[in-house]
């Protein structure tokens, strides 16, 4: 599916390494897609945006299954509510409507963004350093956005409104840009909407489930070719996602991860000067 020509490095090890990075960074507001793209564009000979983005999306399937298991109780309730909507409680109804609306909007916006990126690729000679520069700038934007959020409120899932789904749909759609952290921008937006920390985190990760699954079905399914090295990367993404999601979610309630994104973006810019 995603044939990449590597510098002398074991391909399976490289896939496992990328899967490990995806599994850990998916829960951090530093953009797992951005980091995967940086590594691929600089440690391989591939600078094709389509190939890089499709591969990063594929690795998200590993953390998709990790989040699906972690939030299995919430997901089960939501699936049941699809068939028993009238008898569901207000919390489940509002969460379901919120996820449907945000997924539709973010899916459309994300597709438009990806199509725009690919159209520019045909006119520009894009190098690994060019990609890295844009990703570094987006990471810095993500960090600044996170650090600007200083207050959280007491709103819960039962307080979700139609406009919340619309706003969060646009926020998640912007994360189609490599370097813009999906978790960072969605959590920040929810906090700005005065949802409490725990609710913001839970909604952010629940939002990732349908969009990752739909994205892979529509963007990757037609080009899928089974490869053992891809399977190793997917398994690594799943395993490290499971191992880190609980601890990192607890840690994120105590530390503003905006510093991670900001510092990583600045270090990436410094690396462009040194390398």
| Residues 91, 156 contacting (CB under 8 angstroms) | yes
Return the pLDDT at 4: 45
pTM: 0.77
Return the pLDDT at 3: 46
| Residues 240, 23 contacting (CB under 8 angstroms) | yes
| Residues 50, 13 contacting (CB under 8 angstroms) | no
Return the pLDDT at 6: 45
Residue 3 located in a structural domain: no
Q: CA separation (Å) from 241 to 109, 204, 236? A: 27, 15, 8
Return the pLDDT at 103: 94
Give the residue numbers spanning the domain of 81: 11-274
Residue 142 tokens, joined: 């993500």
φ, ψ dihedrals at 268, nearest 5°: -65, -40
The number of folded domains in the chain is 1
Residue 110 located in a structural domain: yes
Return the pLDDT at 5: 44
φ, ψ dihedrals at 175, nearest 5°: -70, -5
**Positions in the chain whose pLDDT score sits under 70:** 1-9, 29, 41-51, 118, 120-132, 135, 149-153, 178-179, 219-228, 249, 252-253, 256-257, 271-272, 274-275
φ, ψ dihedrals at 254, nearest 5°: -115, -20
The whole-angstrom separation of Cα 56 and Cα 19 is: 9
Query: For the chain, what's the residue count?
Result: 275
Residue 197 located in a structural domain: yes
Report the phi/psi class of residue 31: left, alpha or beta, with left for phi > 0 and alpha for psi in -120 to 50: left
| Residues 31, 261 contacting (CB under 8 angstroms) | yes
Residue 142 located in a structural domain: yes
φ, ψ dihedrals at 46, nearest 5°: -90, 120
The whole-angstrom separation of Cα 32 and Cα 37 is: 8
Return the pLDDT at 56: 79
Question: What's the distance, Cα to Cα, between the start and end of the chain in Å?
Answer: 30
Residue 30 located in a structural domain: yes
Return the pLDDT at 132: 67
| Residues 13, 236 contacting (CB under 8 angstroms) | no
Residue 5 located in a structural domain: no
- DSSP string over 218-259: HHTGGG----HHHHHHHHHHHHHHHHHHHHHHHHHTTS-THH
Residue 1 located in a structural domain: no
Return the pLDDT at 267: 77
Cα Rg, the chain, nearest whole Å: 18
């Amino acid at each position: 599916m995603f044939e990449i020509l590597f510098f002398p490095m074991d391909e399976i090890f490289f896939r496992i390494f990328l899967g490990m990075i995806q599994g850990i960074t998916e829960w951090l507001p530093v953009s797992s897609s951005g980091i995967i793209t940086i590594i691929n564009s600089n440690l391989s000979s591939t600078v094709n945006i389509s190939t890089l983005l499709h591969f990063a999306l594929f690795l998200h399937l590993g953390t998709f299954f990790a989040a699906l298991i972690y939030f299995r109780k919430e997901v089960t309730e939501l699936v049941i509510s699809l068939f028993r909507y009238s008898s569901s409680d207000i919390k489940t109804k509002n969460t379901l409507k919120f996820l449907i609306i945000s997924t539709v909007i973010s899916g459309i916006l994300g597709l438009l963004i990806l199509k725009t990126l690919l159209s520019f690729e045909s006119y520009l000679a894009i190098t690994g350093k060019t990609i890295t520069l844009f990703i570094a700038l987006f990471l810095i934007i993500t960090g600044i956005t996170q650090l600007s959020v200083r207050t959280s409120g007491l709103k819960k899932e039962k307080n979700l409104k139609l406009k919340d789904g619309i706003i969060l749909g646009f926020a998640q759609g912007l994360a189609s840009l490599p370097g813009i952290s999906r978790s960072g921008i969605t959590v920040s937006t929810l906090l700005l909407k005065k949802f409490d920390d725990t609710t913001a985190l839970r909604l952010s990760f629940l939002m990732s489930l349908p969009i990752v699954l739909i994205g892979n079905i529509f963007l990757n399914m037609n080009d899928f070719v089974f490869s053992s090295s891809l399977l190793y990367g997917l398994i690594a993404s799943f395993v490290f996602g499971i191992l880190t999601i609980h601890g990192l979610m607890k840690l994120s309630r105590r530390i503003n991860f905006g510093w991670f994104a900001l510092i990583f973006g600045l270090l990436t810019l410094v690396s462009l000067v040194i390398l």
